Homo-oligomer: A and B are copies of this chain.
Amino acid sequence: MIDLRPVGYVIGLLVSVLGGTMLLPLAVDLWLGNGEWSVFLEAAILTILTGGVLALASSNGVQAGLTLQQTFMLTTGVWLILPVFGSIPFLIGATDARLVDAFFEAMSGMTTTGSTVFSGLDDLPAGLLLWRSMLQWFGGVGIIVVAMVFLPELKVGGMQIFRSEAFDTGGKVLPRAAQIAARISVVYLFFTVLCYIAYLLVGLSSFDALNHALTTMSTGGFSTYDASFGTFQGPAEYVASVFMVLASLPFVRYVQIMGGHTGPMLRDSQVRTFLMVVLVLVGVITVFRVVVNADHLEHAFREAIFNVTSIMTGTGFASVDYQLWGAFPVVIFFFIGLVGGCAGSTCCSIKVFRFQLLFASIRAQIRRIHAPHGVFTPRYEGRPVSEDVLSSVMAFFVLFVVSLGVLSVLLAMTGLDFVTSVSGAATALANIGPGLGDVIGPAGNFASLNDTAKWLIAAAMLIGRLELLAVYAMLSLTFWRS
């Protein structure tokens, strides 16, 4: 029997903290004088109390180290239980949402997916809008900590390659996590403030700037308008592009820069590869828009850089329905969404370093074909990659593709059309936000989906966000023995 108390203790504490943060939207609604503040009062009390009771009840089992099983349960537990409490304001607030919609929205927030089931966003009370953005911001910083501390420990998806990087836990997961969370939070907060100021400078209102700074730095993609970023066409798109890219780089590199070491960032091969891919795609799509769609150069470039970064980083802001541009950009967007940004950032999806590792392995494989008796070891950043890491990455890739297929079939089973099923599965697993087609495309909304589809997509967001194996490993029988 696994001792659940250390897990319960941490989750309880985090739930209480989440409840505490509800005081912020409460204050906003109170200040604006709309009656909605009481929603957050109720939600905060309920959340803080429940979290506190859970923490107290588990406090006699606290320890600095966690077993492997406990680490798994903590990782998945946090991302399953926080959205439950995060959904309370949607249940009892102005959205008056049904359970499935409230949970979908909260999960879409915490996993930084950014798909929404709410429409009429423009008329929602400020507190609720801020709460959506805050969920994404917490989810963003949370996932960086998970990616840097928990996943390498769990050897999930090849993340152990980043283990030696800067943060070896030496078995003491929780103290390490707290320490890293503190450092990362400083960087994350700094960029968010910078992004906020930049949005102000290009003319966004203070409230818009705040919300979009929160959802930009988390590559979350929630907006406070039904038109999403279409509301701010112009210079704001450049600002967003810059910060979406900044949010997609490995945060450990920023911490190193804070410590005076700029070299690691400049030499990081996933950073270089990611930026190069973005540049090439922006170039290709700009040319396409100018030549094929007869667009103006600046307009074409601005829409290209904004939409390429939005999809590739998995932010999912939409400034325009790019499906109207033709099939070529749409197919590109579908596949680059499956690439994503750098590991150790707020990005989800397969990620650049995995493709680098897989290609390195294929190159070694081809060499081996030509010289059967030679020894060719795949390398990453000059260092040989262990079989252990390669098979983790391979497992991730296969599971991602197979999950995409299975989820597509399940979604189609609920009655969704082909494009909605396949793109819905992709956008959920890769935590992007918008799908393709008329229903859930960049100009669409997830509200009209049936409840089963919403539950499935919410589950896929969680599975994708935790790099699949962190969830799937718990489904294996071996997990529950020992």
CA A478 – CA B368 in complex, angstroms? 10
Question: Which of B338, B394, B413 lies in contact with A394, CB distance below 8 A?
Answer: B394
Do B332 and A412 touch across chains, with their CB atoms under 8 A apart?
yes
Do B365 and A391 touch across chains, with their CB atoms under 8 A apart?
yes
Q: For the complex, is A4 an interface residue (Cβ under 8 Å from B)?
A: no
Q: Which of A56-64, A300-308, A395-403 contacts B (4 or more CB under 8 A)?
A: A395-403
Interface of A is mostly: helix
Mark interface residues in A402-427 (1 if CB within 8 Å of B CB, else 0): 00010011011101111101100000
Q: For the complex, is A22 an interface residue (Cβ under 8 Å from B)?
A: no
**Chain B residues with CB below 8 A from A364, complex form:** 391
Q: Say how far A470's CB is from chain B's closest CB, in angstroms.
A: 9
Copies per complex of this chain: 2
Mark interface residues in A349-384 (1 if CB within 8 Å of B CB, else 0): 000000000110111111111111000000000000
Q: For the complex, is A432 an interface residue (Cβ under 8 Å from B)?
A: no
Do B156 and A369 touch across chains, with their CB atoms under 8 A apart?
yes
CA A399 – CA B359 in complex, angstroms? 9
Q: For the complex, is A50 an interface residue (Cβ under 8 Å from B)?
A: no
Do B395 and A335 touch across chains, with their CB atoms under 8 A apart?
no
CA A398 – CA B356 in complex, angstroms? 12
Q: Which of A297-353 contact B (CB under 8 A)?
A: 326-328, 330-332, 334-335, 338
Do A370 and B327 touch across chains, with their CB atoms under 8 A apart?
no
Do B68 and A478 touch across chains, with their CB atoms under 8 A apart?
no
Mark interface residues in A151-171 (1 if CB within 8 Å of B CB, else 0): 000111000000000000000
Also in contact, A472 and B366, with CB within 8 A (given A395-B361, A398-B358): yes
Q: Say how far A418's CB is from chain B's closest CB, in angstroms.
A: 5
**Chain B residues with CB below 8 A from A469, complex form:** 365-366, 369
**Chain B residues with CB below 8 A from A405, complex form:** 335, 338
**Chain B residues with CB below 8 A from A478, complex form:** 366-367, 370-371
Do B332 and A409 touch across chains, with their CB atoms under 8 A apart?
yes
Question: Which of B331, B392, B472 lies in contact with A421, CB distance below 8 A?
Answer: B331
**Chain B residues with CB below 8 A from A122, complex form:** none
CA A132 – CA B176 in complex, angstroms? 67
Q: For the complex, is A436 an interface residue (Cβ under 8 Å from B)?
A: yes
Chain B's closest residue to A401 (CB) is B401
Q: For the complex, is A438 an interface residue (Cβ under 8 Å from B)?
A: no
Do A413 and B369 touch across chains, with their CB atoms under 8 A apart?
no
Q: For the complex, is A476 an interface residue (Cβ under 8 Å from B)?
A: yes
CA A478 – CA B417 in complex, angstroms? 46
Do B398 and A328 touch across chains, with their CB atoms under 8 A apart?
no
- Chain A positions near chain B (C-beta within 8 angstroms): 68-69, 154-156, 326-328, 330-332, 334-335, 338, 358-359, 361-372, 387-388, 390-392, 394-395, 397-399, 401, 405, 408-409, 411-413, 415-419, 421-422, 436, 469, 472-473, 476, 478-479, 482
- Beyond A328-B412, A334-B422, A335-B405, 17 additional contacts (C-beta under 8 Å) are A155-B369, A327-B415, A327-B421, A328-B415, A330-B412, A330-B418, A331-B411, A331-B418, A335-B408, A358-B394, A364-B391, A366-B469, A366-B473, A366-B476, A367-B476, A371-B482, A401-B401
Could you give 26 example pairs across A and B, Cβ below 8 Å?
A: A68-B369, A154-B369, A156-B369, A327-B412, A328-B409, A328-B412, A331-B422, A334-B408, A334-B418, A358-B394, A361-B395, A363-B476, A364-B391, A365-B392, A366-B476, A366-B478, A368-B388, A370-B482, A371-B478, A371-B482, A387-B387, A390-B394, A394-B397, A397-B397, A397-B401, A418-B419
